[in-house]
Structure 1
Amino acid sequence: MKEYQTEQRKTLLRFFQENQEHKFSIDDIIRGLPPEAPISRSAIYRNLNKMVRDDLLKKTIESTGRKSLYQYAPFKTCCDRLHLRCEKCGKIMHLENESAESDLTALLAKNGFVLDEHATVLVGVCKECK
């Protein structure tokens, strides 16, 4: 049975698809949504939880442990890559250098350590923010 897509869910999905490189808190989402498409806070929570269960969004916890952050990351398009996050602008990118990934994997394996690439984020500054 096909599930009905509400206008609220379509609006949220469009917001995340247009901002794939960033993670958002609930407050960020509310501020970022178009004013002509108001969505209640409870509807946002309900839709985000459903989108996480459907593997459309990835939910993480902010470094302070106080906020949940959401990012568009459907498993069909998000590959098993290490992620890079700019601490200035918040942009998230995939490490696109297979040689560097292989070197890092070999170094960690030599030390008996295996990375969970879905949960691994290296923090630094992107070339635009340097």
Structure 2
Amino acid sequence: MRPVKYKSKVGEEILSFLESKKDTAVIVLDILKELERKNLSTNITTVYRQLEKFIEEKQVIAHSAKDGKKIMYQYIAGKEECLKHLHIQCVKCSKIIHLDCDESEEFTNHIEKEHGIALDYSKTVLFGLCNDCR
């Protein structure tokens, strides 16, 4: 169970919604729709402010959507390992697959050593189709 860090009802509902979708990534409009469904009045600025707090506390990570125009948010519950490996997001259902295997580590080590690039895993996502959507 996640620790309760925010006392505002909106903040708690945002975190609860993200936790319920922990195997997928969502956009701000999804969050706003959920808050509206629960009859919670807020605005988009408040949602973004709460998301930034959750990111700082390593409760949530943010990355670009496949179109590069939106930001997707994923609940990680403070799990530091999500900041140390790549992720693949299904382009159809938005499911997140964690690539915490030796082959992925070998690939990212190659990128750093041979190309001089240190990846930011919280923002680096590969896109493809999961087994269920293929």
Structure 1: how far apart are the matches of 2:88 and 2:74?
14
Which stretch of the first structure deviates more once superposed, 4-13 or 70-79? Answer: 70-79
The corresponding residue for 1:81 is: 85
Tell me which of 57, 60, 67 is aligned to 2:63. Answer: 60
Q: Which runs of 5+ in 2 are unaligned?
A: none
> Letter of the aligned partner of 1:93 in structure 2?
I
Task: Count the aligned residue pairs.
Answer: 127
Which stretch of the first structure deviates more once superposed, 85-94 or 31-40? Answer: 31-40
Alpha-carbon shift at residue 109 of structure 1 (Å)? 5.3
Alpha-carbon shift at residue 115 of structure 1 (Å)? 4.7
1:95 and 2:99 aligned: yes
Decide whether the 8 Å contact of 2:65 with 2:71 is kept in 1: yes
Identity over the aligned pairs, expressed in percent? Answer: 27
Decide whether the 8 Å contact of 2:63 with 2:125 is kept in 1: no
> Under a length normalisation based on structure 2, what TM-score does the superposition of the two structures give?
0.73
Structure 2: how far apart are the matches of 1:43 and 1:106?
38
> Under a length normalisation based on structure 1, what TM-score does the superposition of the two structures give?
0.75
Decide whether the 8 Å contact of 1:81 with 1:94 is kept in 2: yes
Q: Kindly report the root-mean-square deviation, in angstroms, between the aligned alpha carbons of the 2 structures.
A: 2.7
Q: Which runs of 5+ in 1 are unaligned?
A: none
Structure label with greater radius of gyration: 1
Structure 2: how far apart are the matches of 1:13 and 1:114?
32
